[in-house]
Amino acid sequence: MKTEAILRLQAYLDNEVSSADARQIASWIARDAEAKALYEELKATKDLLNAENELAVTLPESHDFYWSKIQRAIDKAEQEPVQRHSPRPWWIRLLAPVAGAAVLGVFVLTSVSFNGITGHYKEVSETDNSITFYSPEQKMTVVWIPSGNEEIVASADESDD
Amino acid sequence: MRRAIFLPWFCLLMFLAAAAPVRATTELNMSATLIWGTDEEKPNDPKIKPVSPEVAKRLKGIFKWKYYFIVKTESAGLAEKAVKKFVLSDKCTVEVRNDVKTYQAKLFGETKLLKTIDQPVKVGEDTVLAGDDKNSTAWFVILTPVAGK
């Protein structure tokens, strides 16, 4: 049986059809055994679920009041400022980025490696591009003069003579 | 009463005792050494000798080269405001001036002034003027203030 036919039977059972349709459907049920069987099954189900067989539930409050209470709760929750939960005190949150930047800066400044030199950076000369380091472990101040002075050692052995 | 009489004399003696070494240390004893750094164990020039293990350890603690050889070393005592030229090679000269609590060093490459520095006089603290050289080698001029006798 087609779905449309089933829906027509259901509408007939619920008195949702016109009188002309009702007569036509009643005639159809009388002629068609399958339609009759389905109609009776639907009718039996409807009878079983009618108001007399349902448990009566009494709401403690009216329908409108119940839903307005929910609406008020939603409105109140939306109006409250969002609280950001942070387990850390404010001063740690304030100092954490500063401390991170300081650690990074110290790491960069104390780990400068240039042309084979590692040490504690002090300064770069703007005039001659020389770089000054200090190594506390070796107790040495190093002034690294960039290339261009290759001839310094070249004739050292001659001067020894 | 007796203690009050001796106290000024005691203070005067202490002041003189403290001042005496200060006057003595106005002279600067300076050692200047030209060193060559390389990754080759044996240099081409057989005359140059490896630096002491202690100096090598200190240099290796800072620089990347594996071996260090002394090209030339010179020492001199400088009176207050005196200037001493340390000729370390034909083309490398260091001029040191004793400014008592500090010293000024001028490094010359050939006759060209490469660098002037002013350093505090601290015995045990060396100053290294250095640069890269040919064939991935490097040169180092180490200035070492030496404790006076």
Q: What is the pLDDT of residues B85-105, one digit of tens each?
A: 999 998 899 999 999 889 999
Nearest to B72 among A117, A148, A160 (CB): A160
Residue of A nearest to B46 (CA): A157
A126 touching B, CB under 8 A? Answer: no
Query: Both tokens of residue B88?
Result: 């370390």
Confidence (pLDDT) at A106? 63
- B142 in any annotated domain: yes
Residue with tokens 């300064």: A123
Query: Both tokens of residue A93?
Result: 């949150």
> What is the SS3 string spanning A1-54?
CCHHHHHHHHHHHCCCCCHHHHHHHHHHHHHCHHHHHHHHHHHHHHHHCCHHHC
- A133 in any annotated domain: yes
Q: Are strands B83-89 and B92-99 parallel, antiparallel or unpaired?
A: antiparallel
pLDDT of A150 over the 70 cut: no
Question: What's the domain range around A26?
Answer: 3-53
- A137 in any annotated domain: yes
- B13 in any annotated domain: no
Cα-flanking dihedrals φ and ψ of residue B126, to 5°? -100, 155
Confidence (pLDDT) at A51? 65
- B17 in any annotated domain: no
- A11 in any annotated domain: yes
Residues of B with CB under 8 A from a CB of A: 34, 36, 45, 47-48, 58-59, 61-65, 71-72, 87-92, 107, 109-110, 114-115, 117, 119, 124-134, 137-139
Closest to A42 measured CA to CA, from A13, A5, A75, A80: A13
pLDDT of A104 over the 70 cut: yes
pLDDT of B107 over the 90 cut: yes
- Helix (H) or strand (E) holding A133, with range, is strand A131-135
- B109 in any annotated domain: yes
Q: Which residues of B touch A146 (CB under 8 A)?
A: 131-132
Q: What's the structural domain count of chain B? A: 1
The span from the CA of A10 to the CA of A26, in Å, is 12
Tell me the pLDDT band of A113, cut-offs 50, 70 and 90. Answer: very low
Q: Which residues of B touch A115 (CB under 8 A)?
A: 132
Q: What's the structural domain count of chain A? A: 2
Confidence (pLDDT) at A72? 87
- A37 in any annotated domain: yes
Q: Quick check: B106 and B118 in contact, CB under 8 A? A: no
Nearest to B34 among A116, A118, A156 (CB): A156
The listed range with the strongest mean pLDDT (A76-90, B42-56, B79-93) is: B79-93
Residue of A nearest to B61 (CA): A138
Question: What's the domain range around B142?
Answer: 26-146
Residue of A nearest to B128 (CA): A142
Tell me the pLDDT band of B83, cut-offs 50, 70 and 90. Answer: very high
- B5 in any annotated domain: no
Residue of A124, A147, A152 to mutate when probing chain B, most B C-beta within 10 A: A152
- For the entire predicted model, the pTM comes to 0.53
- A92 in any annotated domain: no
Confidence (pLDDT) at A49? 81
